[in-house]
Structure 1
Amino acid sequence: GDREKIRLAMKVTDETGKPVEGSFSLSVTDDKVVSPSIDVHNIKGSLLLDADLKGYIENAGWYFAGEEDERMEALDLLLSTQGWRRFSWQEIASTQPKPVYPVEKEFQLTGKLINMLGKPIKEGSVILFSNNKSMIPDAAKTDAGGRVGFIGFDCPDTTFFVLQGRNKRNNRTFLDVKIDSTDNYAQLNVIPLSPVSHSAALPLSYIKQAGQHRKFEKSMWTINLPNVEVKGKKMEEAKEDKIRQWMFSYKVGRNELNNRMPLKYELRKLPGDGAVWIVDGVEIDKESIKDMLEAPALYIESIELVSKPGLSLWGARGQNGVVIIKTRNPLDIIQSLEIAPPGLVSYKPEGYCVRKEFYVPAYDDPKIKGNSTPDLRTTIYWNPVVKTDSEGKATVEFFSADAVTSYSYILEGMGENRIGYVR
Structure 2
Amino acid sequence: MLCKTTLYRLFIAACFMVACLVLPVTKANAQDNSNIKKLIGIAEDYRTRMPAEKLYLHLDRPYYTTYDTLWFKAYLFNASTYSASKQSAKVYVELVNDSSRVVNRFAIPMHSGLGEGYLALDERVPDGTYTLRAYTQWMQNFGEDVFFSKQFYVGKPADQGSWLISEQHQLKTTADGNQINLALRLSSLSKAVIPYRDIEVRLLEGKKTAFKGNFLTNDAGTTEASFNISPKTDTRKLSLQITDKLTKNKYSIPFYPGGQMQDIDLQFMPEGGNLVAGLPSRVGFKAIGEDGLGIDIKGIVKDRSGAQVAAFSSAHNGMGSFNITPQPNEIYTAEYILNNVKHIATLPAASAAGISLKVDNLSSPDSVFADIVATKDAPIVNQRYNLMVQSAGGVYMGVSFKSLSGPNTVRLAKSGFMSGIVSFTLMNEANRPVAQRRVFIDQHDRLNLEINASQNSFLPKDSVAISLNVRDASGQPAIGSFSASITDDSYITNTPDADNIVSCLLLTSELKGHVENPAWYLAGNSAEKAAALDNLMLTQGWAGFDWAQAVLPVKEPAFKPEPNNRLTGNLRNLFNKPVKDAKLNFFTVSKKYGVLVMDTISNAKGEFAFENLPIFDTISYTLRVNNKKDKASGATINLDLFKPADVTANNIRLNPWYLNLNDSLMRGYFNRPQAPRYQGIDMSEVKGKLLKEVKIKADKPAVSIAGYSGFVTKEIFEKELIEAGKTTLFDLLSRKYRNFGIGYLYAESALSKPLMHTEPSLVMGISKVAEVVVDSTNTCIVAGICTTIDPPSDAQTAIDFVKTIGADDVKSIRIVEGLKLFIVVTTRGGHGYFTKSSHNVLAYRPVPYCLPKQFYRPKYSVSNTAINTPRPTLHWEPNLVTDKKGKATLSFFAADKPGRYTVTIEGTDMQGNFGRQTTSISIAAQAAAAGKTEAAK
Common topology (TM > 0.5): yes
Contact 1:131 1:161 in 2 (8 A): no
Matched, 1:126 2:585: yes
* Residues 150 and 230 (structure 1), Cα distance of their counterparts in 2 relative to 1, 3 Å cut: farther
Deviates more, 1:55-64 or 1:349-358: 349-358
Q: 2:915 aligns with which of 402, 410, 420?
A: 420
- CA 1:186–1:420: 2 relative to 1, 3 Å: farther
> Quick one: which of 78, 82, 101 aligns to 2:540?
82
Task: Using the TM superposition, give the Cα deviation of residue 51 of structure 1 relative to its aligned residue in structure 2, in angstroms.
Answer: 0.8
Give 2:902's match in structure 1, choosing from 408, 419, 422: 408
Decide which structure has greater helix share.
1
Partner of 2:871: 377
Higher-strand-fraction structure: 2
1:357 to 847, 853, 863: 853
1:40: how far off?
A: 2.8
Cα contact 1:41–1:60 (8 A) shared by 2: yes
- 8 Å Cα contact 1:126-1:140 kept in structure 2: yes
Which amino acid in 2 is paired with 1:152?
N
Higher mean C-alpha deviation, range 15-24 or range 400-409: 15-24
Alpha carbons 2:573, 2:635 under 8 Å: kept = yes
Instruction: Please report how far the alpha carbon of residue 109 of structure 1 lies from its aligned counterpart in structure 2 after TM superposition.
Output: 1.9
CA contact (8 A) 1:360 1:398 kept: no
| 1:165 matched residue in structure 2 | 625
Q: What are the superposed Cα offsets for residues 365-392 of structure 1, whole Å, 9 maximum, x if unpaired?
A: x59x827363211011122332222221
CA distance in 2, matches of 1:168, 1:342: 18
| Number of matched pairs | 318
Cα displacement (A) at 1:418: 2.4
CA–CA distance in 2 between the matches of 1:109 and 1:230? 40
Change (3 A) 1:78 1:109: same
Larger Rg, first or second structure (1 or 2)? 2
> Counterpart of 2:601?
142
For normalisation by structure 1, the TM-score amounts to 0.60
Contact 2:582 2:625 in 1 (8 A): no
Report the secondary structure of 1:73's partner residue: helix
How far 1:113 moved relative to its partner?
A: 4.5
- Residue of structure 2 aligned with 1:175, choices 634, 638, 641: 634
Q: Give yes or no for contact 2:588–2:596 (8 Å, CA) kept in 1.
A: yes
**d(CA) in 1 for partners of 2:837 and 2:553?**
50
Query: Does the residue aligned with 1:51 lie in a helix, a strand or coil?
Result: helix
Aligned residue for 1:316?
none
Are the counterparts in 1 of residues 623 and 844 from structure 2 also a CA contact under 8 Å? no
CA contact under 8 A between 1:4 and 1:363: conserved in structure 2?
A: no
How does 1:225-236 map onto structure 2 within 5 Å?
231=701
Structure 1 unmatched ranges of 5 or more:
223-227, 235-328
Superposition deviation, residue 37 in structure 1: 1.5
| Structure 1 pair 195–206 and aligned structure 2 pair: CA distance change class (3 A) | same
Q: Could you say if the C-alpha distance between residues 155 and 12 of structure 1 is closer, same or farther in structure 2, counting changes exceeding 3 Å?
A: closer
Which of 446, 471, 477 is the matching residue for 1:19?
477
Q: Assess if the C-alpha contact under 8 Å between 2:491 and 2:668 holds in 1.
A: no
Contact 1:2 1:402 in 2 (8 A): yes
| Distance of 1:156 and 1:175 partners within structure 2 | 31
Where 1:195 maps in the other structure, the secondary structure is coil
* Distance verdict in 2 for CA 1:87–1:116, change over 3 Å: closer
- How far has the Cα of 1:20 moved from its partner? 2.5
| 1:155 CA displacement | 6.8
- Cα distance change, pair 113–378 in 1 and its aligned pair in 2 (3 A): same
Which residue of structure 1 lines up, in the alignment, with residue 497 of structure 2?
Answer: 39
Q: Give the 3 Å change call, closer, same or farther, for CA 204–150 of structure 1 in structure 2.
A: farther
Report the Cα distance in structure 1 between the residues aligned to 2:885 and 2:700, rounded to whole angstroms: 59
Q: Distance in 2 between matches of 1:137 and 1:201?
A: 54
Partner of 1:286: none
1:396 maps to: 890
For residues 205 and 357 of structure 1, what CA distance do their matches in structure 2 show? 29
- CA 1:394–1:202 in 2, change beyond 3 Å: closer, same or farther? farther
**CA 1:62–1:159: 2 relative to 1, 3 Å:** same
Shift of 1:29: 0.5
Alignment check: 8 A CA contact 1:10 1:394 kept = yes
**C-alpha separation between the residues in 2 aligned to 1:59 and 1:31?**
20
Alignment map for 1:286-305 (pairs within 5 Å): none
The CA deviation at 1:141 is 2.9
Task: Tell me if structure 2 keeps the 8 A contact 1:209–1:376.
Answer: no
Compared CA separation, residues 355 and 34, structure 1 to 2 (3 A) = same
Q: Quote the residue 2:308 is aligned against.
A: none
Report the equivalent of 1:256. Answer: none
Q: Deviations over 1:288-329 (max 9, x none)?
A: xxxxxxxxxxxxxxxxxxxxxxxxxxxxxxxxxxxxxxxxx9
Q: Which of 314, 332, 345 matches 2:841?
A: 345
**Is the 8 Å Cα contact of residues 507 and 518 (structure 2) preserved in structure 1?**
yes
Distance 1:403 1:342, change over 3 A: same
- The superposition leaves residues 158-209 of structure 1 with CA deviations (integer Å, 9 ceiling, x where unpaired) of 643322222232222x534412232344688875556269789994444544
**Contact 1:40 / 1:60 at 8 angstroms: preserved in 2?**
yes
Distance 1:140 1:73 in 2: 60
Aligned-residue offset at 1:27:
1.0
TM superposition shift of 1:57: 1.1
- Distance, in Å, in 2 between the alignment partners of 1:206 and 1:135 is 47
Partners of 1:233 and 1:387 lie apart in 2 by 57
8 Å Cα contact 1:210-1:376 kept in structure 2: no
Q: Does 1:54 align with 2:505?
A: no
Q: Which one is further off, 186-195 or 61-70?
A: 186-195
User: Is the CA contact (8 Å cut-off) linking 2:460 and 2:898 kept in structure 1?
Assistant: yes
Alpha-carbon distance in 1 for matches of 2:495, 2:464: 23
- State the distance in 2 between where 1:62 and 1:72 align: 11
Distance 1:102 1:162 in 2: 23
Cα displacement (A) at 1:54: 0.7
Question: Residue deviations 1:105-129, cap 9 Å, x none?
Answer: 2332223445555551525342422
Q: CA deviation at 1:77?
A: 1.3
Distance in 2 between residues matched to 1:191 and 1:142, nearest whole Å: 45
Q: What residue is the counterpart of 1:244 in the other structure?
A: none
In the alignment, the residues of structure 1 paired with residue 522 and residue 648 of structure 2 have an alpha-carbon distance, to the nearest angstrom, of: 21
Distance 1:48 1:389 in 2: 26
| Cα separation, 1, equivalents of 2:856 and 2:552 | 53
Does the C-alpha gap of structure 1 residues 19 and 232 become closer, same or farther in structure 2, counting only changes over 3 Å? farther
Task: Please report the RMSD computed on the Cα atoms of aligned residues, expressed in angstroms.
Answer: 4.4
State how far apart, in whole Å, the 2-side matches of 1:135 and 1:335 are.
Answer: 20
Shift of 1:79: 1.0
Identify the residue that residue 765 of structure 2 maps to in structure 1.
Answer: none
Q: Hey, what's the Cα distance between the residues in 2 that align with 1:67 and 1:188?
A: 37
Q: Secondary structure at the match of 1:169?
A: coil
- Please state how far the C-alpha of 1:395 moved relative to its aligned partner: 1.1
Conserved 8 A contact 2:582-2:628: yes
Specify the code of the residue in structure 1 equivalent to 2:626. Answer: R
Q: Distance in 1 between matches of 2:662 and 2:565?
A: 37
Question: Deviation digits for residues 255-287 of structure 1, max 9, x if unmatched?
Answer: xxxxxxxxxxxxxxxxxxxxxxxxxxxxxxxxx
Name the CA distance, whole Å, in 2 between partners of 1:410 and 1:21.
18
Within 2, Cα distance between the matches of 1:350 and 1:39?
A: 38
Equivalent in 60, 64, 67 of residue 525 of structure 2: 67
Displacement of 1:26 after TM fit? 1.1
User: Could you give the per-residue CA deviations for residues 335-378 of structure 1, whole angstroms, max 9, x where no partner exists?
Assistant: 855424755533345504413325222517x59x8273632110
TM-score (norm. length: structure 2): 0.30
- Letter in structure 1 aligned against 2:466: L
Deviation, 1:19, is 2.3
